[in-house]
Amino acid sequence: MTDSTYDRDLTVATEIAYMAGNIMLQYFDGDQQKVIKHDGSPVTIADTLINTMVIERLAVAFPDDGVIGEEESSEDTNQERVWLCDPIDGTKAYVWGTPTAMFSLALVVSGKPIVGVAYDPFLKRLYTGIVGQGSFCNGEKLQVSPDTLETGIVAASSSLDRLMNNPPSYILELVKRKIQTATFSGAVYKASLVARGKFVGYIEEKVGPHDMAAVQVIVEEAGGKITGLDGRKLDYRTPFKGAITSNGLVHDELVRLTA
Ligand code: IPD
Ligand code: CA
Ligand code: CA
């Protein structure tokens, strides 16, 4: 079903996104109580407070749904309806003090993202989408760019160390073909820029379901496409690693570059 059935889900997710944004702003310049996780990535007090708030709010609004957050999940996550949340995507940017960190929340039904909300509290941009109903930024309809690889910009990983010491072949190929590239921390931010037509594509090897669920809806409803690195449809019921986001037109070329 892709009708107004999901209006309440979107309303609740939007309220939660604004609350998350307030927490992000509260700690942006303050004591972030940063710790490094086992995978080497940072996590702050804002990540954990937001994740807990999301679980609490969704438990009240939709007691039968599961919630999978990057930092914490609800007890039962085997339901047909599961919310996937990245409390702060781009925590590296957040601790650097660069405003490309975003909140991300999606309702996934039987493995397919149906409702997506992503919020940039710094520019106060709320991205929303429901499958079959378009995607919007602060109420304005989103549309991907008509550009090609030659005329557009492709975003990639933010790891300078990796790009220099162990550059993936698609990076070398993009550089060789003199295609403009952009790198900074924040997968949701980069994908949102594909949805709003600034970038034609974005290749990322490390992202998983909680990173991509909301932008899957937002980008595709703006006319774009998100798949695995192999070009296949993503199934949000099982973990995956890596995704290609594009305006649709350059998708196959990006898949070929990544193969
Ligand atoms: C990460 C960021 C980063 C991307 C990584 C993600 P996190 O998410 O989006 O830009 O390169 O693949 O895992 O750890 O900030 O939520
Ligand atoms: Ca993330
Ligand atoms: Ca995160």
Using one digit for the tens of pLDDT, what is the confidence trace for 106-159?
Answer: 999 999 999 999 999 999 999 999 999 999 999 999 999 999 999 999 999 878
Question: pLDDT (tens digit, 9 = 90+) per residue, 158-210?
Answer: 788 888 888 999 999 999 999 999 999 999 999 999 999 999 999 999 999 99
pLDDT of residue 157: 83
**CA–centroid distance, residue 209 to ligand 2 (Å):** 9
Question: pLDDT (tens digit, 9 = 90+) per residue, 52-91?
Answer: 999 999 999 999 999 999 999 999 999 999 999 999 999 9
Those residues with Cβ within 8 angstroms of residue 176's Cβ, 6 or more apart along the chain or in another chain: none
Give the distance between the most distant pair of CA atoms in the chain. Answer: 53
Overall average pLDDT of the 202-229 stretch: 98
Determine the residue type at 39: D
**CA–centroid distance, residue 175 to ligand 3 (Å):** 29
pLDDT of residue 3: 52
Residue 26 pLDDT > 80: yes
Whether 186 is in the pocket of ligand 1, judged by its Cβ within 6 Å, is yes
Neighbours of ion ligand 3 (CB under 5 A): 70, 86
| Nearest atom within ligand 1 for CA of residue 184 | 10
Ligand 1 mutation target, pool 35, 92, 189, 240, most atoms within 8 A of CB: 92
pLDDT of residue 4: 78
Whether 100 is in the pocket of ligand 1, judged by its Cβ within 6 Å, is no
Give the residue among 129, 139, 105, 121 at the shortest CA–CA distance from 224: 129
* pLDDT tier at 2, thresholds 50, 70, 90: very low
| Nearest atom within ligand 1 for CA of residue 188 | 9
Mean pLDDT of the chain: 96
Whether 204 is in the pocket of ligand 1, judged by its Cβ within 6 Å, is yes
Overall average pLDDT of the 247-251 stretch: 98
| Nearest atom within ligand 1 for CA of residue 90 | 15
pTM for this entry: 0.97
Beta-bridge mates of residue 102:
89
Whether 211 is in the pocket of ligand 1, judged by its Cβ within 6 Å, is yes
Whether 90 is in the pocket of ligand 1, judged by its Cβ within 6 Å, is yes
Distances (CA, A) of 81 to 106, 107, 144: 10, 7, 28
Overall average pLDDT of the 11-31 stretch: 98
Give the residue among 157, 127, 149, 152 at the shortest CA–CA distance from 229: 157
pLDDT of residue 1: 46
Question: What are the structural domains of the chain?
Answer: 7-140 (3.30.540.10), 153-258 (3.40.190.80)
